[in-house]
């Protein structure tokens, strides 16, 4: 059971699975080098997720699904061992709800079958991947329709093919909007400290033939004041029942700036990112990463004498600062109710 998609139609594929081997494009090495890493076990997949070899909530979920297949092949009839593998996978990056969502789908398959069936799990993992590809295309179409022709947009972090199974979430909307003539100007934050914007988003947009300009985070307010952008478009790692959004650190800043400048704020994410059991974003566990990442981004081997650091990966944007949330099920506006019947 393998999965293949055309790049032109579905976006660049950063996850490869041929039924027995899982390969991940090492996003830490981009754009300087395109290096593929082979992942042989659930533990290796968990390390790849934690170490940012693969990142982006949908891509993390897809990777976990394929890792569940690898674990089943290695465990044989040992369901307890397989369940332990799933628990380690689930904890690799706890903020992204897509990770637990994918793992729980694999768990349900095993529970329903009553045994570890690698072929059935492989079929389900490929289905999860294909569903994300289709969702990406649907979101790109829905989101781009909302944008007025001639608009400028600003995006944050990386939300394209590297972060998903297909053309992307927010970046999918942007690419579709450019190709349809709706988006005239594209800007992307560099996204500290891992520089996902300047390393990954710039690389993806260039690959898609989209002209874009990168700016430092501190320039976002000045850009908005210049009148060059009308929309801020981001992805999400978790969305609560009332529309609070957990996303890459810095997203909250952009939402506040957008509201002050009269810009609109769009979040694009598959329905698997919704957490209907969670009402408030304040209840989302925010991952803290090694403070040394901040110093390394500045080219320093260690912290300056007497200095500490605070390095949260995500922040929470309250739903009242979000104008539009797009999933494959439709376009949602405040007050957010994520029932398909409520989609515009």
pLDDT tens, position by position, 82-92: 999 999 999 99
| pLDDT over 70 at 3, yes or no | no
pLDDT digits (tens, 9 = 90+) for 263-302: 999 999 999 999 999 999 999 989 898 888 888 888 888 8
One domain for residues 265 and 120 = no
The residue segments making up the domain with residue 32 are 7-134
Confidence check: pLDDT of 100 > 80:
yes
For residue 41, the model assigns a pLDDT of 94
Contact 325, 255 (CB under 8 A): no
> Are 36 and 177 within one domain?
no
Which of 104, 134, 164 marks a domain boundary? 134
CATH number (domain holding residue 33): 1.20.120.420
List the catalytic residues: 237
* Distance of alpha carbon 246 from the chain centroid: 11
Boundary residue ending a domain (107, 134, 161): 134
User: Going edge to edge, which strands form the sheet with 314-317?
Assistant: 274-275, 238-240, 245-248, 314-317
Q: Do 102 and 194 lie in a common domain?
A: no
Is 57 part of a structural domain of the chain? yes
N-to-C CA span, the chain: 37
Taking the CB of residue 148, how many other CB atoms lie within 10 A of it?
A: 10
| C-beta neighbour count of 53 within 10 angstroms | 21
In a domain, 209, yes or no: yes
Give yes or no for residue 10 having a pLDDT over 60: no
Whether residue 239 is found in the same domain as residue 334 = yes
Q: Residue length, the chain?
A: 344
Domain count of the chain? 2
Report yes or no on 102 lying in a domain.
yes
Alpha helices per DSSP H over 51-192: 57-75, 79-90, 97-113, 118-146, 170-179
Confidence at 94, pLDDT banded by 50, 70, 90: confident
146 and 21, same domain (yes or no) = no
Asked if residue 68 and residue 184 are part of one domain, the reply reads: no
Same domain, 108 and 152: no
127 lies in the same domain as 218:
no
Q: What pTM does this model have?
A: 0.90
In a domain? residue 24:
yes
d(CA 281, CA 313): 15
Q: Residues 48, 56: contact at Cβ < 8 Å?
A: no
Within this chain, do residues 113 and 148 fall inside the same structural domain, yes or no? no
For the chain, where are the alpha helices, taking DSSP H only?
7-10, 42-50, 57-75, 79-90, 97-113, 118-146, 170-179, 196, 202-207, 220-225, 251-261, 292-297
Residues 189-223: tens digit of each pLDDT: 999 999 999 999 999 999 999 999 999 999 999 99
Verify that 290 and 310 share a domain, yes or no. yes
- The CATH number of the domain holding residue 319 is 3.40.50.10470
> Please, how many CA atoms are within 13 Å of residue 336, restricted to the half-sphere of its CB?
28
Closest CA to 190 of 165, 168, 223, 164: 223
Is 321 contained in some domain?
Answer: yes
Q: 1 lies in a domain?
A: no
Residue 200 token pair: 């990954």
Is the backbone peptide bond immediately before 31 cis, with ω within 30 degrees of 0?
yes
Quick check: 165 pLDDT over 90? yes
Whether residue 233 is found in the same domain as residue 124: no
Q: Which of 87, 112, 134 is the endpoint of a domain? A: 134
- What's the pLDDT at 306? 83
In a domain, 2, yes or no: no
Write the CB contacts of 235 (distance below 8 Å, at least 6 apart in sequence). Answer: 56, 57, 157, 159, 163, 169, 170, 171, 247, 267, 268, 269
184 and 321 co-located in one domain: yes
């Amino acid at each position: 059971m393998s999965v293949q998609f055309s790049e032109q139609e579905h976006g660049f594929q950063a996850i490869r699975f041929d039924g027995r081997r899982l390969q991940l494009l090492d996003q830490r090495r981009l754009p300087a080098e395109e290096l593929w890493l082979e992942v042989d076990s659930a533990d290796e997949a968990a390390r790849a997720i934690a170490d940012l070899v693969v990142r982006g909530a949908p891509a993390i979920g897809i990777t976990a699904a394929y890792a569940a297949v690898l674990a089943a092949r290695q465990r044989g009839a040992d369901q307890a061992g397989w369940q332990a593998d799933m628990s380690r996978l689930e904890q690799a990056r706890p903020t992204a709800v897509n990770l637990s969502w994918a793992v729980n789908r694999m768990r349900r398959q095993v529970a329903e079958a009553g045994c570890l069936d690698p072929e059935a799990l492989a079929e389900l993992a490929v289905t999860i991947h294909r569903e994300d590809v289709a969702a990406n295309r649907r979101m790109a179409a829905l989101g781009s329709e909302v944008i007025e022709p001639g608009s400028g947009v600003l995006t944050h972090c990386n939300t394209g093919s590297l972060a998903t199974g297909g053309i992307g979430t927010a970046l999918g909307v942007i690419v579709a909007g450019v190709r349809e003539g709706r988006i005239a100007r594209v800007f992307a934050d560099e996204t500290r400290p891992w520089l996902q914007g300047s390393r990954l988003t710039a690389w993806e947009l260039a690959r898609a033939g989209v002209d874009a300009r990168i700016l430092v985070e501190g320039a976002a307010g000045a850009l908005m004041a210049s009148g060059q952008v009308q929309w801020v478009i981001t992805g999400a790692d978790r969305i609560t029942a009332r529309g609070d959004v957990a996303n890459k650190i810095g997203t909250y800043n952009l939402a506040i700036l957008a509201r002050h400048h009269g810009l609109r704020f769009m979040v694009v994410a598959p329905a698997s990112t919704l957490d209907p059991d969670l009402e408030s974003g304040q209840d989302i566990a925010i991952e803290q990463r090694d403070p040394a990442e901040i110093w390394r981004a500045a080219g320093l081997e260690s912290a300056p004498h007497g200095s500490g650091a605070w390095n949260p990966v995500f922040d929470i944007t309250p739903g009242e600062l979000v104008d539009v949330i797009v999933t494959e099920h439709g376009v949602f506006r405040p007050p957010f109710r994520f029932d398909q019947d409520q989609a515009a």
